[in-house]
Amino acid sequence: MEPFVYNGQPARVIFGSGTIQQLPAELDRLGLKRVVVLATPPQEPEARRLVEKLDGRAAGIYARATMHTPVEITEDALRVVLDLKADGLVAVGGGSTTGLAKAIALRTDLPQIVVPTTYAGSEMTPILGETRDGVKVTQSSPKVLPEVVIYDIDLTLSLPAAMSGTSGLNAIAHAVEALYARERNPVISLMATEAIGSLAAALPTIAVEPGNREARGKALYGAWLCGICLGSVGMALHHKLCHTLGGSFDLPHAETHAIVLPHALAYNAPAIPDVMGGLRNVLGTDDPAMALYDLAGKVGARRALADIGMPESGIELATDRALSNPYWNPRPLERDAIRGLIARAYAGEPPR
């Protein structure tokens, strides 16, 4: 067997349907009496419902979380948290809300309970990306890891079908890249394979029946495992491309991942025959990259970067930027092939 290093991240995870009822007990376990509940503006009603369950243990709500964790919002939230003399944070929402909780925790060391309602997986990672003056800077610190994560399947039922599909593909991307990460190891590969199978089975059902609890449970379980993958091993070409494309053209996070993933996998395929074998098994197909392209179609995700706001002139720029800071990838970065990959993703063509 190949030697390996496995870094486990500490986490207390509560998973199931109706698990949000356990939030008061979790606050008691941590000795928290004055938490601030964080949310995005559209999820403020969800935050209010949580506060009602907390029997006076909530000091207030801050419902201005937004994409890419802008430092101005974090500083505004920090003022509220300090004014209210909060002793902890409860984040209910997707990666944007979790990002805000992590950014506050980084500055205050306040304990966090995160209640994820998308499949982004940020709650399982020590990674925080913050935007200052339009520039996103990513750092990794154990200080940002939540103390408790409560996965409640019921809270994901309201995630619109289209968003569920792209968010699920975003999660699958973490697991796919974990399979060929430089630090890959058998434990993470087990989780990644299980996660891909779970999400690939659940997402087409959710696309036509968003209220299907069985499928929602499978998807959330898969998303949790994908989050562990993202937090445990380094990512490669796919994540680098999405970061570059998202940052250069202000593209939506999950949709960009959904479009790029089949192309990034097809690019790496010749360098990772063992991983492709495993993916063939779990996806039940001879062509895993094509299967992911088809899955994007089945969940109603858009498949062309042109359709989500990337200008055609951006193909060269994205190629330059993708090649500018060398990083590890199983297949060396070849300019013409990378350009071809980006051009196909731009046009929405199948991967090859």
Q: Is 193 in the site for ligand NAD (CB under 6 A)?
A: no
Which of 74, 112, 156, 198: binder of ligand NAD (CB under 6 A)?
Answer: 156
What is the rounded CA–CA span in Å between residue 303 and residue 345? 7
Q: Whose CB is nearest to ligand NAD?
A: 95
Q: What are the backbone dihedrals phi and psi of residue 116, each rounded to the nearest 5 degrees, phi first?
A: -75, 140
- With b for 16 or more beta-carbon neighbours within 10 A and e for fewer, the 283-306 pattern comes to beeebbbbbbbbbbeebebbbebb
Which of 20, 89, 101, 127: binder of ligand NAD (CB under 6 A)?
Answer: 127
What is the rounded CA–CA span in Å between residue 315 and residue 344? 10
Which residue, 205 or 285, has its beta carbon nearer to ligand NAD? 205
What is the rounded CA–CA span in Å between residue 78 and residue 99? 13
Collapsing DSSP to helix, strand or coil, 302 comes out as coil
Which of 117, 198, 232, 244: binder of ligand NAD (CB under 6 A)?
Answer: 117
Which residue, 247 or 350, has its beta carbon nearer to ligand NAD? 247
Q: Is 256 in the site for ligand NAD (CB under 6 A)?
A: no
Footprint (CB under 6 A) of ligand NAD, residues 38-97: 40, 42-43, 67-68, 93-97
Q: Residue 93 forms beta bridges with which residues?
A: 116
CB of 339 vs ligand NAD, minimal distance in Å: 25
Collapsing DSSP to helix, strand or coil, 34 comes out as coil
CB of 304 vs ligand NAD, minimal distance in Å: 19
Q: Is 125 in the site for ligand NAD (CB under 6 A)?
A: yes
CB of 43 vs ligand NAD, minimal distance in Å: 4
Which of 7, 139, 141, 158: binder of ligand NAD (CB under 6 A)?
Answer: 158
The residue among 113, 143, 112 whose CA lies nearest residue 128 is: 143
149 DSSP assignment = E
CB of 46 vs ligand NAD, minimal distance in Å: 8
70 DSSP assignment = B
Which of 128, 191, 235, 236: binder of ligand NAD (CB under 6 A)?
Answer: 128
| Helix axis angle, 186-208 to 273-283, nearest 10° | 40
CB of 110 vs ligand NAD, minimal distance in Å: 18
Q: Is 118 in the site for ligand NAD (CB under 6 A)?
A: yes
Q: Is 303 in the site for ligand NAD (CB under 6 A)?
A: no
Which residue, 230 or 292, has its beta carbon nearer to ligand NAD? 230
CB of 308 vs ligand NAD, minimal distance in Å: 14
Q: Is 120 in the site for ligand NAD (CB under 6 A)?
A: yes
Which residue, 251 or 315, has its beta carbon nearer to ligand NAD? 251
The residue among 218, 213, 221, 104 whose CA lies nearest residue 151 is: 221
Whether residue 142 contacts residue 170, with contact meaning beta carbons closer than 8 Å, is answered with: no
Q: Is 165 in the site for ligand NAD (CB under 6 A)?
A: no
CB of 273 vs ligand NAD, minimal distance in Å: 29
The gap between the terminal CA atoms of the chain, to the nearest Å, is 32
What is the rounded CA–CA span in Å between residue 226 and residue 214? 18
CB of 315 vs ligand NAD, minimal distance in Å: 23
Going through the chain in order, the beta strands assigned E by DSSP cover 12-16, 35-38, 58-62, 88-93, 112-116, 127-132, 135-140, 148-152
Q: What are the backbone dihedrals phi and psi of residue 316, each rounded to the nearest 5 degrees, phi first?
A: -65, -45
Whether residue 91 contacts residue 114, with contact meaning beta carbons closer than 8 Å, is answered with: yes
Which residue, 112 or 118, has its beta carbon nearer to ligand NAD? 118
Chain contacts with ligand NAD (rule: CB under 6 A):
40, 42-43, 67-68, 93-97, 99, 117-118, 120-122, 125, 127-129, 155-156, 158-159, 163, 167, 230, 253-254
